[in-house]
Copies of this chain bind each other. A is one copy, B any other.
Amino acid sequence: MNSSSYESLLNQLNEGKKAAIVTIINNENSENSNFPRKFLFTEEGLLTDNNDYNFPDAFYEKVQYALESGMLQFGSSEKEIYLIEPYFPEPKLIVLGGGHIAKPLVEFGSKLGFSVTVVDDRPSFANSKRFPDAKNVICESFDKCFDLINLNPSTFVVIVTRGHRHDMDCLKQVLKHNTAYTGMIGSKRRVRGVMDQLVKEGYSKEKLDKVNSPIGLDIGAVTPEEIAVSIISQVVSYRRLVNTKNGRKKIIKSNWPEFDRDVLLALSKEEKEPKAIITIISTKGSVPRKEGAKMLVYPHGKILGSIGGGCSEGSVINSARYILRNGGHQIQTIDMTGYVAEEEGMVCGGIMDVLIELF
Residue from B113, B124, B223, B236 within 8 A of A112 (CB atoms): B223
Tell me whether A111 is interfacial, beta carbon within 8 Å.
Answer: yes
Pick the 7 closest A-B CB pairs, nearest first.
A220-B240, A219-B237, A220-B241, A233-B233, A220-B253, A219-B236, A112-B225
Give complex CA distance A268, B219 in Å: 35
Complex interface: chain B residues within 8 A of A239 (CB): 220
Tell me whether A344 is interfacial, beta carbon within 8 Å.
Answer: yes
Complex interface: chain B residues within 8 A of A229 (CB): 108, 112, 229, 232-233, 236
Give complex CA distance A254, B251 in Å: 32
Q: Are A237 and B256 in contact (CB under 8 A)?
A: no
Chain A interface extent, by class: 35 or more
Tell me whether A342 is interfacial, beta carbon within 8 Å.
Answer: yes
Closest chain-B Cβ to A242's Cβ sits at a distance in Å of 8
Q: Are A222 and B124 in contact (CB under 8 A)?
A: no
Tell me whether A162 is interfacial, beta carbon within 8 Å.
Answer: yes
- 7 A-B Cβ contacts within 8 A? A218-B237, A220-B236, A220-B237, A220-B253, A222-B256, A229-B229, A229-B232
Tell me whether A214 is interfacial, beta carbon within 8 Å.
Answer: no
Q: Are B220 and A345 in contact (CB under 8 A)?
A: no
Give complex CA distance A107, B232 in Å: 15
Closest chain-B Cβ to A130's Cβ sits at a distance in Å of 10
Q: In chain A, residues 235-260, which have Cβ atoms closer than 8 Å to a Cβ of chain B? A: 236-237, 239-241, 251, 253-256
Complex interface: chain B residues within 8 A of A112 (CB): 223, 225-226, 229
Closest chain-B Cβ to A123's Cβ sits at a distance in Å of 11
Q: Which of A112, A113, A251 lies at the interface centre, i.e. has the most chain B CB atoms within 10 A of its CB?
A: A112
Tell me whether A283 is interfacial, beta carbon within 8 Å.
Answer: no
Give complex CA distance A254, B342 in Å: 41
Interface string of A202-237 (1 = CB under 8 A from B): 000000000000000111111101100110111011
Tell me whether A104 is interfacial, beta carbon within 8 Å.
Answer: yes
Tell me whether A343 is interfacial, beta carbon within 8 Å.
Answer: yes
Tell me whether A269 is interfacial, beta carbon within 8 Å.
Answer: no
Closest chain-B Cβ to A240's Cβ sits at a distance in Å of 3
